Amino acid sequence: MSGAGLDKTAYDDLPDGVLVTDAVGMVVLLNPAAERILSTSADAVVGRDLREVLPLADEQHRDWWECTDPYGGLPTRTRQPERRLQVSRGPLLGRELLVTAAYVRDDDRALQRVVVSLRDNRARERTDRSRADLVSTVAHELRSPLTSVKGFTATLLAKWDRFNDEQKQLMLQTVNADADRVTRLLTELLDVSRIDAGRLEMRKQVVDLAVAVQKAVDGRIAGGDPEDRFVVNVTGELPEIWADPDKVDQVIGNLVENALRHGEGTVTVTLSPWQDGAEVVVEDQGVGIPPDTAARVFTRFWRGNKGRGTGLGLYIVKGLVEAHGGSVEVGSADGGGARFRFVLPAGTPPYDS
């Protein structure tokens, strides 16, 4: 049987590799994802035997096609569950793949074609490592504030009468600050989850970017940073920006915090009109970010040269800015420090007035 009647375009946009054969094992389709996984082209494999195109072995080094006998065996079979297999010969020798096979049969249970689904196990391993890194980071970041909260509350409960009001207030302020730290971490984790799942909720309204920047700076000054460390410049008349004010505050706050944590000297925030929107530039006077590192700063767990924080802040910045239809980039400031620039389109009201 040939591939007649098979809608080959139906497989093109699937994220998993798909290889389809006819009833006797001749390849009739290879989708783009499978081309990437197998480092070949559909033209090179269509018309060839599946067992030649994709030689596979299980953990005991047995030929998987011989063991499963996809073109024989019981006519009641409909699929093979996912298995971790290795390419047993050829240029991809040793490559691990996650393989699933489905048997398409007619009303008389006669085999019409076999659909083989492929996933590169390296992608799953990267995902597993990313999850493990996230768990490790969360555990590390939670341990310190929770230890502090537990220690101070236990001390106050056991020895309340031994401390004066000033000492009690100091300990409670520490507990409060550490509780805020835990809350921020949990908020970051929720943001990462929503960004990854594409489930960010946008509650847009008119946002005054100059006010948002000044609020972020005032918050840092109230928290103990010296006032003369900040410079805010507004150049030109900014357009009306429709955005989610909480998320804009988060973006600006994360970039200012990043400049303080990883940079040195004065932190300069400049706001300007840009095309049909506005741009915000945050610069510091630190050592800057090497060009070979710039591509990684918006990935998870990037912590810079000082290795502090969760490493999620800039990943969240990128996700929030892009959710508004904007963009963010990193470069070098004129003084040699880091320069982060993000742009937001003016946007439109979320409803017709």
Task: List pLDDT tens digits, range 220-230.
Answer: 998 889 999 99
pLDDT score at 349: 66
Q: What are the residue ranges spanned by the domains of the chain?
A: 8-123, 124-197, 205-345
Q: Which of 130-134, 146-150, 191-195, 204-208 has the lowest mean pLDDT?
A: 130-134
Q: Is the dihedral of CA 93, 94, 95, 96 positive or negative?
A: positive
Structurally, at CATH architecture level, domain 8-123 sits in 2-Layer Sandwich (3.30)
pTM: 0.60
CA distances from 65 to 87, 114, 116, 295 (A): 12, 12, 12, 43
C-beta of residue 321 within 8 angstroms of C-beta of residue 342: yes
Task: List pLDDT tens digits, range 19-56.
Answer: 999 999 999 999 999 999 999 999 999 999 999 999 99
| Pair of tokens at residue 139 | 């555990």
Q: Which fold, 205-345?
A: Heat Shock Protein 90 (3.30.565)
Residue 305 neighbours by CB under 8 Å, 6+ apart:
262, 287
Residue 312: pLDDT above 80?
Answer: yes
Q: How far, in Å, CA of 307 to CA of 60, rounded? A: 43
Q: Classify 124-197 by CATH class.
A: mainly alpha
Q: How far, in Å, CA of 117 to CA of 119, rounded? A: 7
pLDDT score at 289: 83
